[in-house]
Amino acid sequence: MSVLLEARGLSAILPGDAGDVRVLDRVSLAVDAGEIVDVVGPSGSGKSTLLRALAQLLPGATGELLIGGESSAALAPARWRARVALLPQKPVMFAGTLRENLVYPWSLGVRHAEAAPEDRLLAEGLARLGVEAALDRDATRLSVGQAARVAFLRTLLTDPSVLLLDEPDAALDDISADALAAMTCEFVSARAGRGGGAVVRVRHHRSDGIASRRLHLEAGHLTDTGVAR
Is 114 among the domain residues?
no
Residues in the chain: 229
User: How much is the pTM?
Assistant: 0.94
Is 14 among the domain residues?
yes
Q: What is the CATH number of the domain that holds 11?
A: 3.40.50.300
Pure H helices in the chain? 47-54, 77-83, 98-102, 119-128, 144-157, 174-190
pLDDT at site 181: 96
Is 117 among the domain residues?
no
Is 39 among the domain residues?
yes
In angstroms, rounded to a whole number, what is the distance separating the alpha carbons of residues 62 and 137?
42
Is 110 among the domain residues?
no
- Which residue in 228, 212, 173 sits closest to 31, CA to CA? 212
Is 10 among the domain residues?
yes
Q: How many domains does the chain have?
A: 1
In angstroms, rounded to a whole number, what is the distance separating the alpha carbons of residues 149 and 131?
7
Domain containing 171 equals 3-92+159-226
The burial of 132, by beta-carbon neighbours within 10 Å (0-12 exposed, 13-18 middle, 19 or more buried), is given as exposed
In angstroms, rounded to a whole number, what is the distance separating the alpha carbons of residues 36 and 78?
24
Q: How far is CA 45 from CA 42, 59, 97, in A?
A: 5, 18, 36
In angstroms, rounded to a whole number, what is the distance separating the alpha carbons of residues 225 and 209?
15
Is 149 among the domain residues?
no
Report angle CA 86, 145, 115 to the nearest 5 degrees.
Answer: 50
pLDDT in single tens digits along all 229 residues of the chain: 699 999 999 999 988 777 788 999 999 999 999 999 999 999 989 999 999 999 999 999 999 999 999 999 999 999 999 999 999 999 899 999 999 999 999 998 888 788 999 999 999 999 999 999 999 999 999 999 999 999 999 999 999 999 999 999 999 999 999 999 999 999 999 999 888 999 999 987 677 899 999 999 999 999 998 776 5
Is 59 among the domain residues?
yes
Report angle CA 117, 169, 122 to the nearest 5 degrees.
Answer: 15
